[in-house]
Structure formats: structure tokens, C-alpha cells
Amino acid sequence: MTAEPVKITLFDLDHADVQDISRQLATQTPGLTPEQIPGSRYGEPTMLVLAVACATPTIHALAAWAMKNRRKQRIELRAKVLYSDGSEVDRSAVLSFSESDAPDAQVIKQLIDGLGLQGLPEGDDGGNP
């Protein structure tokens, strides 16, 4: 059995990013609450770290946040992914926006591929892992 992703810890976020992602998560699923961690715990005092359960609504919330910030045309997202077997992997997703792509589908694909979330169950309803 392949280990499934259960938690994503996002790095290098500012306060506005954390607020936007938290708002998007609340919209997608009220029961999925992120854990905000001060960046100083990771040696980066001005940045915030956000830990969220790995579920389909999380990916949709991150995609909605990215789409809101698409004016940047490129977003790099650093993360640590915790898998069900206890292993952790540092990952990076580069989200680039193109007028020719279907925006939502392309951003979701870039998130899943970049963060290595291919093991996420298709029908996950966002409950706790």
C-alpha cells in the first residue's frame, strides 16, 4: 500500500497569505482548520508557517488563493508533506499562469504535481485523516 499524504506544512507565507488561505479553507470546508505556526520556530521570524490537513478541499482552497494572486504570474510554494507512513518530504510547487490554460484545472494540477499529492483520494470529503 502506498503512503498517502496527510498533512501539508506551507512555508514563507506572509500574514495576508495566511488570512487568505484560512478564509478559503473556511469557505471550502468549515471543519478543516489550519494551524498557524510562527516562522521563528523555523528560523524565519518574519514569515509564517501554516499546517493543514491534506484533503481535497485544501487543494481547492490553495488553488483559489493562488488564482487570487495570479497577477504575480508565478508563485513558488515551499512545503513539507507528511505521509501516512510517518515520512516527511520537502516539496516545492511552482505555479505559473497562462491565458491559454483552463486556470483552475491547471493550478490544481500544478499543486498536486509539485507537492507530490498524487496519493490523495479522489473522493476525500475533507474529514480528518
Cα 116 to Cα 31, 42, 64, distances in angstroms = 24, 22, 19
Q: Three-class SS of residue 65?
A: helix
Q: What is the pLDDT of residues 70-109, one digit of tens each?
A: 666 788 888 888 888 999 999 988 888 766 656 677 888 8
Q: What is the distance in angstroms between the CA of the first residue and the CA of the last residue of the chain?
A: 16
Is 50 within 8 Å of 41 (Cβ atoms)?
no
Q: What is the pLDDT of residue 63?
A: 85
| Res. 116: pLDDT tops 80 | yes
Query: pTM (2 decimals)?
Result: 0.72
Query: Among 57, 70, 72, 71, which Cα is nearest to 24's?
Result: 57
Give every strand in the sheet of 35-38, ordered side by side: 35-38, 48-53, 5-13, 74-83, 88-96
Contact present, 120 and 3 (Cβ < 8 Å): no
Q: Cβ(61)–Cβ(24) under 8 Å? A: yes
91, three cell numbers: 516539496
Band of pLDDT at residue 29, cut at 50, 70 and 90? low
Which of 6-20, 24-38, 40-54, 100-114 is predicted least confidently? Answer: 40-54
Taking CA atoms, 45 is separated from 11, 39, 92, in Å, by 12, 5, 21
Report the pLDDT value the prediction gives residue 129, as an integer from 0 to 100: 36
Judged against a pLDDT cut of 70, whether residue 56 lies above it is answered with yes
**Residue 103 CB coordination number (10 Å):** 14
pLDDT value at residue 120:
63
